[in-house]
Amino acid sequence: MKPLKKAKKFKGPEGPVVLVILDGVGIGTCAEGDVVNRANTPILDWLAENALAARLKAHGTAVGMPSDEDMGNSEIGHNAIGCGRVFAQGARLVNEAIENRNLFAGDVWKELIDNVVQHDSKLHFMGLFSDGNVHSHIDHLEAMLTEAKNQGVKKAAVHILLDGRDVPPTSALDYVDRLENFLTALKKDGDIDFAIASGGGRMQITMDRYQANWGMVERGWKTHVLGEGRAFSSAREAIETLRRENPDTIDQDLPPFVIARGQAPLGPIEDNDSVIFYNFRGDRAIEISMAFENDEFDKFSRGPKLNVKYAGMMQYDGDALIPKKYLVNPPGIDRTVGEYLVNAGIRQLAISETQKFGHVTYFFNGNRSGKFDDSLEDYIEVPSDIVPFEQRPWMKAAEITDKVVDAIQSNKYEFIRLNYANGDMVGHTGIPQAVEIAVEAVDLCLARIVKAVKKADGILVVSADHGNSDDMYECDYKTGEVIYDEKTGKPKPRTAHSLNPVFAYVYAPDDNIRMKLSKHKDLGISSLAATCLTLLGFEPPDDYTPSIVEIDSSSDTKK
């Protein structure tokens, strides 16, 4: 890669450029459900009046999704912010691989199918069960089940992780009924045994990330692999029963369950079986993949490594090679901001709490584990509390802020990036009161960062990776009216990300730095990369999405 060129007349600020990513904080379009607007946010309000302000796209094709009907998410959002360009992301890549049949022509698919046909064993599908298109899509599952049947597979088990987070909070039965009808039709002209075998809420089992709570993965292992747990005759019976017993619990938090015929569970995973984890997004797929693949494993009592053929929809960690086998090649992201700055000798800090630590490191760096240069980069993970987010909506914002303020004052770093997880993680609970506290907690912390940046004569950039807290109720976007639940008379809660734009504020307290908004229109969050490079005194690469700001050539800095 070619090195960055220094800007001819602007050498960067005296202090650091600080990029603050307010995860899940967008610009609402339905007023009643916009908790960001409802919250008391004097610092965000002040930035809107005193900083350069722009709106950026954070969903759909602007971040590499198949269409503009697709919401953005934290993974692809940080990819876009960190690499400065738009890459086709997992959902689009899998769609294309199924449409052109490259997925089914690949060696890994053939190996898994040949294994179960040869041994008359079972093919297992495990993953997030919805059409949210953030981690997975039920269309992909159905396409693979159809192809498996056509290639002679007689037995298949589907292990469903209930969503209620990227889709309506109690929509699980819609997907269960769809799949059951699909399987019934599939069986009509073939002697096959394809069935749902186990399940549970995505925030209860299997889909932990960043090794925050291996207990989730252990519960998933017992449920999916060992077939241990509370048994029901069908997924519908399980979900209806668990909802009656837990009336305030949404799908993502429902307890695990096993489907049984008589006394025997339908889908224990056994030697000579094949397993496909069909999520295309990586962060919540890595740990279960490790449990299947690692020869030595000490995170929980797994037992001897199973003799199964295991594959992911994609490779979830290209550096650690997790998993070893995968069906679709992930996006080839290169030349990220972090790598460019390391090559230019710029000292960097990346920090967040566990829930988003991988986003400001792994995803920001183009799905790359580790650092580009140990001597120039520091990564700080603040351990997240293992409690429901609505019970502690301030999360670790204060602790992150303590470390960021210290870092700004240290004069050690020229570029600092941080993520406040509150707006997204609490937003997913669907509880507006908790979300309001979460947004206000972040605003309080932002006040301290603004003060530190002013004192250091740095430059502050505040934006987001996607919306969530700005859209807490289901809404008719044509009229702007909230949709009410006929039974309760209350607004229908929304736990998914929004399709709304996000703000970008750029604030330079040094009066000698003269900035203006660039002439480029309809920019997305990928423009934040070129923006930060511009503010650091570099010319962004030609193929980066243009910066949202321009520096007046008459600007004078102290460097």
Contact 220, 256 (CB under 8 A): yes
Helix (H, G, I), strand (E, B) or coil at 257: strand
Sign of the Cα pseudo-torsion (109, 110, 111, 116, in order): positive
Per the annotation, the verdict on 274 as an active-site residue is no
Query: For residue 262, how many other CB atoms are within 10 A of its CB?
Result: 7
Cα–Cα dist 337/57, whole Å:
19
By CB neighbour count within 10 A (0-12 exposed, 13-18 middle, 19+ buried), where does 270 fall? Answer: middle
Query: For residue 289, how many other CB atoms are within 10 A of its CB?
Result: 25
CA atoms within 13 A on the CB side of 413: 24
Relative orientation angle of helices 397-410 and 432-456, to the nearest 10 degrees: 10
Cα–Cα dist 243/349, whole Å:
44
Cα–Cα dist 181/50, whole Å:
56
As a whole number of Å, the CA-based R_g of the chain is 24
CA atoms within 13 A on the CB side of 225: 26
Cα–Cα dist 108/114, whole Å:
10
Token pair recorded at residue 525 = 């969050």
Helix (H, G, I), strand (E, B) or coil at 423: helix
Length of the chain: 559
The region that residue 169 occupies, defined by phi over 0 for left and psi between -120 and 50 for alpha, beta otherwise, is alpha
3-state helix, strand, coil in the chain (%, to 5): 35, 20, 45
Contact 178, 323 (CB under 8 A): no
Which one-letter amino acid corresponds to residue 112? Answer: L
Q: For residue 375, how far is the Cα from the chain centroid?
A: 29
Cα–Cα dist 467/477, whole Å:
15
Of these residues, 67, 74, 233, 498, which one is catalytic?
74
Which one-letter amino acid corresponds to residue 2? Answer: K
Active site residues: 74
